[in-house]
Amino acid sequence: MKVAIAQCNPLMGDIAGNTDLILRNALAANEAGADVVIFPELALCGYPPEDLLFRPAFRNQIEAAIQVLLEASAESFGQLCLVFGAPHYESGDIYNAAVVIQAGKQLGRYFKQCLPNYGVFDEQRYFAAGDQPLVLDINGTSVGVTVCEDIWHAAPCQQAKEAGAELLLNLNASPFHEAKLAERMAVVKKRVTDTQLPMVYCNLVGGQDELVFDGRSMAFNASGECAYLAPACAECVEVIEFEKTESGLVAPVSDAADVEVNELAEVYDAIVLAVRDYVTKNNFPGVVLGLSGGIDSALVLAVAVDALGADKVEAVLMPSRYTADMSNEDAAQQAKVQGVHWHSIAIEPAVNTFEGMLAERFAGTDLDTTEENIQARIRGLLLMAISNKTGKMVLTTSNKSETAIGYATLYGDMAGGYGPLKDVFKTLVYQLARYKNESAGQEIIPNRVIERPPSAELRPDQKDTDSLPPYEVLDPILEFSIEADQSVHSICELGYDEALVRRVVGMIKRNEYKRQQASPGVKITRRAFGRDRRYPITSGYQPSPK
């Protein structure tokens, strides 16, 4: 039994293009001698399709595309069986389905039984749940089909086993977050050892707005042994050959199954993929970003070049009276090393103009963050002007630590189309910067940028620690509060100062209005701002004493 995994990257809503993608991958699988080729969850339309599902034209295109695939399977693929994800409409309900076709005939449809409704998922808004297994004879082997969340629960796989399945196929659209691969592998191992059936797990790859799908499809033997692990963040078609033995189907262990996973590499590659797909799938000709000489913009520039190529990246230095010489030097050095188009626009004339315009209104008041934010907003205005003129999208450079507590300027450094670091805590920013240099074998990001104390450079001799605790202290508090929903009391019990924790939690609450106006950005943690964490802006809630 030869099973081809088609780990592919569909474009949301491009039904015709995704149909061609399925056909190309099916052709490759057929040429490789596969008996069956398995595609990701909802590969025909993309995941998650959200309210597109409600549009009559969307349904019509889906149904027409399935007819195209049926005709093509009859004409071009012999006995190759195609298993792909698509919405199914019936009696006023919509199902998240796996469609099985062979030689021009539809062998069956499986309706996803376990509909996730947590975190980034809200499938119960759209889909009705199935309740029946699907087990089919494919070239002499009884194959059970499941979809994504089904394998996180015991019942669907057990149903398939009781219906006679010898092999399980699982279609997935499982988004990435840190350490997600280990979670998935543990779940697959649990299901195969419980059922004593091997499983082929095919996952989606590609960026979709704030989600990124990392692929990492896999095949497991019934013993719990991983026989194959697909690459991260890349499309591929791989054939897994199962042999029939007295104990059932068994696949040989490939070299690809024994790969040491580098967690920093997984995160970095996921961010790169998310940026690439957001820019290219939305047809932007390139990106522009402000390059300050600080660590955040330096990492964003490195990501942008890896995602799009240097020729599609523009960097703009925008020094002020407070910008240190080393900041300009380091920014220029990185821009030259990475080969991007860059230039410098001093903001001092605009700052002077705005200060003059506001002098009468601000008379008798002290300098404060107002004047600092004017500088940030001038920079945002310049970048957006370049974006308007060239069509390039602005990449924002704020990280999760800053946006969590409001240490970013609304309509200033928050202005832009996409935030590569939106879900990256500051301490992780430093780790990724070091990883980039180590993996490149050269100093892409100047070491001085990594080593110097972080500063917004919006007032004389400013350091982030003037306003914030060190990030080594701040980030764990943010993680406990945001990722784990821990109370102030629980965090303090871990050894953190109560006054500091209350201050940080208060800043998180006060800045919800800012975050809900921020650009989209890739999710890489368990709980990103946006789809994962939904809090009211207007709220009288106060943390309890305990």
CA quadruple 199, 152, 269, 277: dihedral sign: positive
pLDDT for 487-544, tens place per residue? 999 999 999 999 999 999 999 999 999 999 999 999 999 999 988 888 888 888 887 7
Identified catalytic residue from 8, 45, 81, 112: 112
Indicate the average pLDDT of the chain: 94
Contact 513, 406 (CB under 8 A): no
Beta-carbon contacts of residue 342 (< 8 Å; ≥ 6 apart): 291, 314, 315, 316, 317, 331, 332, 335, 336
pLDDT for 456-479, tens place per residue? 777 777 787 777 889 999 999 999
For the record, the structure tokens of 470 come out as: 């060190």
Identified catalytic residue from 41, 149, 238, 457: 41
Q: What is the pLDDT of residue 458?
A: 73
For the record, the structure tokens of 12 come out as: 């949301």
Contact 474, 406 (CB under 8 A): no
| Per-residue confidence band for 395, with pLDDT thresholds at 50, 70 and 90 | very high
The percentage of the chain sitting over the pLDDT mark of 90, rounded to a whole number, equals 87
d(C-alpha 351, C-alpha 335), whole Å: 25
Under DSSP, is residue 135 helix (H, G, I), strand (E, B) or coil?
strand
pLDDT for 252-304, tens place per residue? 998 877 778 899 999 999 999 999 999 999 999 999 999 999 999 999 999 99
Contact 136, 168 (CB under 8 A): no
Domains (range + CATH), the chain: 2-251 (3.60.110.10), 265-515 (3.40.50.620)
pLDDT for 420-435, tens place per residue? 999 999 999 999 999 9
d(C-alpha 450, C-alpha 505), whole Å: 28
Note if 41 is an active site residue: yes
pLDDT for 105-114, tens place per residue? 999 999 999 9
pLDDT for 86-102, tens place per residue? 999 999 999 999 999 99
Identified catalytic residue from 8, 45, 81, 148: 148
Q: What is the DSSP letter of 149?
A: G
d(C-alpha 365, C-alpha 344), whole Å: 32
| Per-residue confidence band for 454, with pLDDT thresholds at 50, 70 and 90 | confident
| Per-residue confidence band for 545, with pLDDT thresholds at 50, 70 and 90 | low
- Spell out where 160-276 has E strands: 167-172, 199-203, 205-208, 211-214, 218-220, 226-229, 236-241, 243-245, 248-250
d(C-alpha 152, C-alpha 366), whole Å: 58
d(C-alpha 227, C-alpha 222), whole Å: 10
Residue 391: alpha-carbon gap to chain centroid = 24
d(C-alpha 345, C-alpha 349), whole Å: 10
pLDDT for 216-255, tens place per residue? 999 999 999 999 999 999 999 999 999 999 888 999 998 8
List, in sequence order, the alpha helices (H) in 137-179: 154-162
Q: What is the pLDDT of residue 261?
A: 86
Q: Look at residues 272, 250, 273 and name the one whose alpha carbon lies nearest to residue 204.
A: 273
d(C-alpha 288, C-alpha 45), whole Å: 30
Mean pLDDT of 15-41: 97
Q: What is the DSSP string of 382-407?
A: HHHHHHHHH-PEEBP---HHHHHHT-
d(C-alpha 383, C-alpha 378), whole Å: 9
Helix (H), strand (E) at residue 87: strand 81-90
Q: What is the pLDDT of residue 381?
A: 96
| Per-residue confidence band for 546, with pLDDT thresholds at 50, 70 and 90 | low
List, in sequence order, the alpha helices (H) in 284-415: 295-308, 325-338, 348-362, 369-390, 400-405
For the record, the structure tokens of 472 come out as: 């080594």
Note if 180 is an active site residue: no
pLDDT for 310-366, tens place per residue? 999 999 999 998 888 888 999 999 999 999 999 999 999 999 999 999 999 999 999
What's the number of CA atoms in the CB half-sphere (13 Å) around residue 128? Answer: 12
Q: What is the pLDDT of residue 324?
A: 87
Longest dimension (CA), the chain: 89
59 has pLDDT over 70 = yes
d(C-alpha 395, C-alpha 297), whole Å: 9
Report the DSSP pairing between strands 226-229 and 218-220. Answer: antiparallel
Beta-carbon contacts of residue 272 (< 8 Å; ≥ 6 apart): 233, 303, 306, 307
Compute how many other C-beta atoms are within 10 angstroms of the C-beta atom of residue 225.
Answer: 16
Contact 316, 289 (CB under 8 A): yes
d(C-alpha 314, C-alpha 286), whole Å: 8
Question: Per DSSP, what are the bridge partners of residue 168?
Answer: 144, 199
pLDDT for 145-203, tens place per residue? 999 999 999 999 999 999 999 999 999 999 999 999 999 999 999 999 999 999 999 99
Q: What angle do CA 542, 543, 546 make, to 5 degrees?
A: 145
For the record, the structure tokens of 118 come out as: 């947590």
Contact 296, 421 (CB under 8 A): yes
Note if 112 is an active site residue: yes
Q: What is the pLDDT of residue 403?
A: 93
